[in-house]
Structure 1
Amino acid sequence: MQNIYLHNKYEHLKIDILECITHFNTKGNYVTKGERNVIKSFKIGGETLNVKSFKTPKLINSFVYKHLRKSKAKRSFEYAIKLIDCNISTPFPVGYVENTNASGLTSSYYISKHVDYDFDFRVLIHNPLFSNRDEILRQFTQFTYKLHENNINFLDHSPGNTLIVENGSKYDFYLIDLNRMQFETMDLEKRMENLKRLWLSKKMIRIIATEYAEISEYPFEEVYNLLLQSSQDFKRRINRKKYLKRKYLKKKK
């Protein structure tokens, strides 16, 4: 059984979109090819659309996604609509497709409009001399503050999930990989916790904390200390996991 839902702007492309889903493995151009999810681009109706294929869920999750919880594809679509309603940029949500059988969800796809972006947040981490880096960080902080003020806790707020488009002296930020969000009132501790995955240097933390304090009612020292603590705790946890994994693999050899 197949469930397809398209934004009303794209209902006229239903047949073409389903054709792309049917031949996803053999057609389209790779955008990303990960272990879990694959994204391909397709030319449809004079536009470039990206189709994200989510990893086939295991048996228990398959049942859960059919009967108890929304699929990642459906959540991605619905969360994108919420972001746009809050005037927060994300690639325009075209629709989603879910395939099920008697046991549960077998496959799901999220379709969005392709965005020609200039770079993503990762370059700001890897290249401290990146042109206009400090100003981009300040504008990114304003963007993130807007998220928080709209009660949006983007749980995958990591470097690869923010695309950046240069628009003169202004920078536009687009969120991707949307299926993990919570919509809740956020205190300062939770707000700074939300930034921990960005793998920020101390200089980046100071720039972000300074800007966040300036545009909010929170004192700089409190913002800075909470952001520094959450960022360092996260880095230590990830580095420890990597160390233990390397140690385990070495012992296994």
Structure 2
Amino acid sequence: MSYKIQYNKQFENFKNILLNIKSIFSQNSQTIHLARNELKIIEIENISTVVKAFRVPNVLNQFVYAYLRKSKAYKAFHNATILHDLHVSTPEPIGYIEFFKFALLKESFFISKEFKYDFTIAHIRDEQPEYKKNVLEDFAEFTYYIHTKGVWHVDYSGGNILVKKDGDKYLFSLVDINRMKFRTISNYEGLENFNKLWFNEEDLTTIAKAYSKLASLDENRAIDEILMQDKKLKDKVLLKRKLRGVRN
């Protein structure tokens, strides 16, 4: 079985760790997420790391990722490196490795340092805590900041934004970053990036007001835009669910 490997030069001692990551991962039981992919917190070389094991692709995608497209592990590592260069918070990347059999991609892993956080932005949406306004305003500021850096997180959803309280402020860090775009984000376009968060109208209005102030946008137009983009996606998702129900 062949492999491709790349690691952060600050973590050269992780080369052998990456080469043996399959056995290290299988022997650890501290799973923090299990769906299509699995994430585990693993203490390695006195560093608390998060190891992400990507699901083995179907046969077609094994070929695609081997020859036509960069793998999710590759994108996670390289996008994290770009974000760090842009001073946008994401767990510090350590490295990734891809394993191939018969020249097709099989297992792949991405390792980063663990980011200690208090909750995800989904907590604000679901629990509606009394401090939510402060979090949402700081979140709007963070989002505006990353947009000025040309960062568009395609999967900007509740579970992919980690939140850490720091004094009177809230800090944010991006995860699940294998799908990112780096480009110019103009004016009201940035408000579309909030549409996968599934906030209620009140919370979206709070975000739009804070974002519009920072971006020097018309407040009422910003509110209309964020609500329109939210409704547009929700209608699309609900329609798909109805169609699935009809087919089933």
TM range (shorter): over 0.9
RMSD: 1.5
Query: Paired residue for 2:28?
Result: 27
CA contact (8 A) 2:7 2:96 kept: yes
CA contact (8 A) 1:188 1:223 kept: no
2:86 is equivalent to residue 89 of structure 1: no
Query: Paired residue for 2:130?
Result: 131
CA distance in 2, matches of 1:23, 1:6: 17
2:194 is equivalent to residue 195 of structure 1: yes
Query: Paired residue for 1:5?
Result: 6
CA contact (8 A) 2:187 2:215 kept: no
CA contact (8 A) 2:163 2:170 kept: yes
Secondary structure at the counterpart of residue 198 of structure 1: coil
Unaligned runs of 5+ in 1: none
Encode CA deviations 1:195-246: one digit per residue, 9 max, x unaligned. 1101011111111111011111211122111110010111122122223333
Q: What pairs with 1:131-210 in structure 2 (closer than 5 Å)?
A: 131-210=130-209
Q: Classify 1:43/1:173 alpha carbon distance in 2 versus 1 (closer, same or farther; 3 Å).
A: same
CA contact (8 A) 1:20 1:27 kept: no
CA distance in 2, matches of 1:10, 1:86: 20
Secondary structure at the counterpart of residue 138 of structure 1: helix
Tell me the matched-pair count: 247
Q: Which amino acid aligns with 2:218?
A: P
Unaligned runs of 5+ in 2: none
Alpha-carbon distance, 1:28 to partner? 4.1
Alpha-carbon distance, 1:11 to partner? 1.1
Query: Paired residue for 2:226?
Result: 227
Query: Paired residue for 1:213?
Result: 212
CA contact (8 A) 2:18 2:95 kept: no
CA distance in 1, matches of 2:130, 2:47: 31
CA contact (8 A) 2:188 2:217 kept: no
Aligned residues: percent identity?
30
Structure 2 length-normalised TM:
0.94
Moved more, 222-231 or 11-20: 11-20
CA distance in 1, matches of 2:84, 2:46: 23
CA contact (8 A) 1:17 1:44 kept: no
Encode CA deviations 1:165-222: one digit per residue, 9 max, x unaligned. 1111111101000000111112234312211101011111111111011111211122
Q: What pairs with 1:41-80 in structure 2 (closer than 5 Å)?
A: 41-80=41-80
